[in-house]
Amino acid sequence: MPDSVFDIVRANDADPAAAGQRLLSRTPSENLHDLRNAARAFQPDSALLTAINTALAVEAPLLLTGEPGTGKTQVAYYLQQYFGIPLFAYQVRSTSTVEDMKYDFDAVGYLYYAQHGAEEDTAKTREHFLKPRALWQAFACDTISVLLIDEIDKAPRDFPNDLLEELDQYRFKHPFKEEYIPAHKPRHRPIVIITSNVERRLPDAFLRRCVFHYIELTREHTRTVVQARLGDFPHLADEVREQALRCFWRLRDDERISKKPSTAELLVWLAVLSTRATPVAQLDPDNLGELFGLAVLIKDKDDLGRLRGKF
């Protein structure tokens, strides 16, 4: 008999009203999709805490690397919650420039205003169309804040080198004035968290300015993370959770797998198992290719084929 919580879409079910009610009745954990909420349960290990405290002691950026899904970005939200301070985040893209981190300039709006607006000083007019972004906001903040530069390895090659002065001096020149942002030396520098998935090597000059930490996925810490998030898995029996962890580490240790699941995938998988109230009999460490919810853990077609003995 299909489970009313998990089986929202059912074969040969022609009742849109009932189906719509099942769709609306979903109650997924907010922690799975909201980094701010999940930060309350974040569990840094001793090595990460040492790296954080080292960066704080010398007011240096903390560069966090490691596999995707190991909690690098979460560190910034953890520190925001821990200290009760603002967080300004910038998601790096393949087209990003350092100027994109500093401000947005509405060139189209400025051009229209210059042609049709009242006659005013040009510099003031241009300032009106400036919108500060994460770097500007963090540097000009009245209190200590957290500045998150997320996935810097996705940026163009020159992006890290273009940040050297900013990371040294914690200021930058105003785009239209002969002054700096901030105008005066800040009493406290922002806490800078930079993440990288190690898709490419970062420049040595950039690395020299950072405290470096690689987040390693270990059995002990994974168990601590899961224990802290038990509220996200209300229908997951202890024996099912333990068996799921055994299966997870079998997948991690399987040499046939090229894209190994990490903590993020594990937490989502446990939530799926909880929603379905999956029995322990359906989690066989010796038959990983038939695990329920395998699509959450394995994201590569060839890996899936190897697990199922197709090649």
* Tens digits of residue pLDDT in 106-130: 767 767 776 666 555 555 567 778 8
* pLDDT computed for residue 2 by the predictor: 42
Name the CA dihedral angle for 245, 246, 247, 253, rounded to a multiple of 10 degrees. 110
* 11 vs 310, more confident: 11
pLDDT band at 252 (very low <50, low <70, confident <90, very high): very high
Q: In the predicted model, is pLDDT for residue 222 greater than 70? A: yes
Tokens for 127? 């300032």
**HEC per residue, 201-218:** CCCHHHHHCCEEEECCCC
pLDDT of 34: 84
State pLDDT tens for residues 61-104: 999 999 998 999 999 999 999 999 999 999 999 999 999 999 99
Which pLDDT belongs to residue 294?
93
pLDDT for position 176: 85
Question: Which pLDDT belongs to residue 238?
Answer: 95
Residue 203: other Cβ atoms inside 10 A = 14
Cα-Cα-Cα-Cα dihedral sign, residues 93, 96, 102, 103: negative
* Confidence grade of residue 230 (pLDDT, cut at 50, 70, 90): very high
The residues, ordered by sequence, that sit 6+ positions from 77 with a Cβ below 8 Å of its Cβ are 35, 36, 38, 39, 42, 87
Cα radius of gyration (the chain): 24
Q: Would you say the C-alpha torsion 150, 29, 42, 294 has a positive or negative sign?
A: negative
**How confident is the model over 279-293, as a mean pLDDT?**
92
pLDDT at 201: 87
pLDDT-derived band at 8 (thresholds 50, 70, 90) equals: confident
At residue 1, the pLDDT reads 36
- Dump pLDDT digits (tens) for 164-200: 999 988 999 998 888 888 877 777 889 999 999 987 8
Beta strand pairing status for 62-65 and 103-105? unpaired
